[in-house]
Amino acid sequence: MDKNVLGYSAFRELVNEQRWVCHPNKFLHFELVNLEFDSEKKKVDHPDEVIDIQFLDDGDTQETVLKGSKDLSDAVAGSLYSALQGAATVPVDKQTVRDFMRKVNRPVDSDTNPTRYLLGLDKEKDLRDTYLLQDPKNYYWIWKADRSGTPRIYGPTSEPYVDLPVIRVANPAAFNPRALDQKKPDQSRQRQFIDLLKTVRSS
């Protein structure tokens, strides 16, 4: 976050558009309200010291000198920026988010893989119409058709979570399993050719 201001720029846009919410955190709020842009270093930074003025019940004021920091704000802005970068590849539909939240609130057996459970792939029968994809950056994606036949894509992940053959693709969002069927050899024509060879050899 010290080398690139894009993370904080994206975070500011999310806040202005009211697309970001967070539970109350006084430490995070303290850092965010005191951030400043250093025009010489071309980065978002924190002041060395922050003077906090408190109004007392008797009408007097009390000044407290606090050390500036931005560890929490860096973590929040950085994680949001990373999420936005990933979302630009394959957007997550609302139904997928609803399914995740519904499953998070259910009890899970200790021997269940939590990732496969959230993806709805914790049983062998769930692997029907499911494909394991790998993009040019070697990240894994899981392509799965739901009951209505609508495709859903989960990822990226650094490791595969399903025991399926890996299919290398240029763009997981453009994957179409029908294209795989077109690449398969015509087995009926292969059988005809084999039968023809048998006939020629026997004659």
Task: Please report, rounded to a whole number, the percentage of residues in the chain having pLDDT higher than 70.
Answer: 67
Q: Is the pLDDT of residue 187 over 60?
A: no
* List of residues 6+ apart from 3 with CB closer than 8 A: 43
pLDDT band at 76 (very low <50, low <70, confident <90, very high): very high
> How far lies 117's CA from each of 46, 103, 144, 162, 164, in Å?
42, 8, 14, 11, 16
The Cα 69–Cα 35 span in angstroms is 9
Question: Using one digit for the tens of pLDDT, what is the confidence trace for 88-125?
Answer: 555 556 666 666 666 666 665 656 666 666 666 655 55
| For residue 127, pLDDT beyond 80 | no
Dihedral sign computed on CA atoms, order 16, 19, 20, 23: positive
E strand residue ranges, the chain: 36-38, 43-45, 49-55, 61-67, 130-134, 140-145, 151-157, 166-168
pLDDT band at 4 (very low <50, low <70, confident <90, very high): confident
Tell me the sheet residues that pair with 62. 54
CA 52 to chain centre: 38
Least confident of 66-70, 129-133, 177-181: 177-181
- On the question of pLDDT at 45 being above 60, the answer is yes
- Specify the pLDDT at position 23: 84
pLDDT in tens, 160-180: 777 788 999 998 888 888 877
- Domain boundaries defined on the chain: 6-87, 94-183
- Predicted TM-score (pTM) of this structure: 0.43
Is the Cα dihedral 160, 166, 167, 169 positive or negative?
Answer: positive
The tokens for 114 are 């939590």
Q: Which residue has the tokens 């029968």?
A: 125
